[in-house]
Chains A and B, each alone.
Chain A
Amino acid sequence: GNSVTQMEGPVTLSEEAFLTINCTYTATGYPSLFWYVQYPGEGLQLLLKATKADDKGSNKGFEATYRKETTSFHLEKGSVQVSDSAVYFCALKEYNFNKFYFGSGTKLNVKP
């Protein structure tokens, strides 16, 4: 079956540090992959997406590359800010079905 596995948090970093949040997936076919962000007290917002192998999604300084050979979609940012403190969710959507699978979320704390 389909599933998404994320690194457990919380992840605590100092401002301007490099961020990596690992995400691996199991899926049949060719899923689309997403990163969502949830700020305190809010719903999930789409951060970036990739729809096929080797695609790189990017937004607000965050990047993730769809790696089919390693079934991974790791989230990276070169220099985090305090305002990036949030919970990050990796997700996949099956190719021909409108069903989404979410990881358990990784909480990021960025300290000044």
Chain B
Amino acid sequence: DVKVTQSSRYLVKRTGEKVFLECVQDMDHENMFWYRQDPGLGLRLIYFSYDVKMKEKGDIPEGYSVSREKKERFSLILESASTNQTSMYLCASNDGRQPQHFGDGTRLSIL
């Protein structure tokens, strides 16, 4: 079974901090994704990566960056956290035409 692991289930940070969210998958998937989930808005794509060191902006990339130095790991970075980035963050991975597999999510609060 595919396992997508997000490093933290809950995280509390302060405004202006640099925040790192980590995601690791164990199925050698080429593609990895970061979404944020907000009530009434569903899932919105922040960034995705289709190969090591390759990244593409999603629908809401502003205020975020990503890093993919190894195939199994995809990091989301909040350069200077703001309160409007309080949200649930979901990481996913897949291979080609297959469905996405999701991690359990990180609930991030910015105070």
Interface residues of B (CB under 8 A from A): 4, 6, 9, 31, 33, 40-43, 45, 48, 50, 90, 92, 94, 96-97, 99-105
Contact = CB atoms under 8 A, between A and B. Distances in A.
9 contacts: A36-B102, A43-B90, A44-B92, A45-B102, A46-B99, A49-B99, A98-B50, A99-B45, A100-B100
Main secondary structure of the interface of A (DSSP, over half): strand
B71 to A, nearest CB: 15
Give the residue among B50, B92, B102, B103 with the most A Cβ atoms within 10 A.
B102
A34 B102 CA distance: 14
Give the residue among A32, A34, A98, A104 with the most B Cβ atoms within 10 A.
A98
Interface of A: 32, 34, 36, 41-46, 49, 89, 93, 98-100, 102-105
A43 B42 contact: no
Given A43-B90, A98-B50, A104 B41 contact: yes
Contacts of A103: 42
